[in-house]
Amino acid sequence: MRDTKSHGQKATGPTLLKLLLRLEGDIRRRLEPIRVTLLQAGVLLFLRRHAEANVTDAAATWA
């Protein structure tokens, strides 16, 4: 999946950074109608994956 070339050769496709920024924008647009931020979505995913976690665990993870 890597399109970049080493030793001064030009990349043939989007860079990883460009792809990540595009993905972030897509996620933000999908969350906007339900008024959820990326951080809030991340916390919800954490809590879903770690049902046994308490508030202190969640806070320590995001600190």
pTM for the model stands at 0.59
- The angle at the Cα of 21, spanning 1 to 18, to the nearest 5 degrees, equals 45
Render pLDDT for 18-58 as a digit per residue (tens, 0 to 9): 999 999 999 999 999 999 999 899 888 988 998 898 888 87
What is the per-residue pLDDT for 28?
A: 95
Most confident of 13-17, 35-39, 58-62: 35-39
Long-range contacts of 21-30 (CB under 8 A, 24+ apart): none
Would you state the structure tokens that stand for residue 6, as one six-digit string? 């080493």
Distance in angstroms (rounded) separating the CA atoms of residues 50 and 41? 14
User: What pLDDT, on a 0 to 100 scale, did the predictor assign at position 38?
Assistant: 93
pLDDT of residue 8: 60
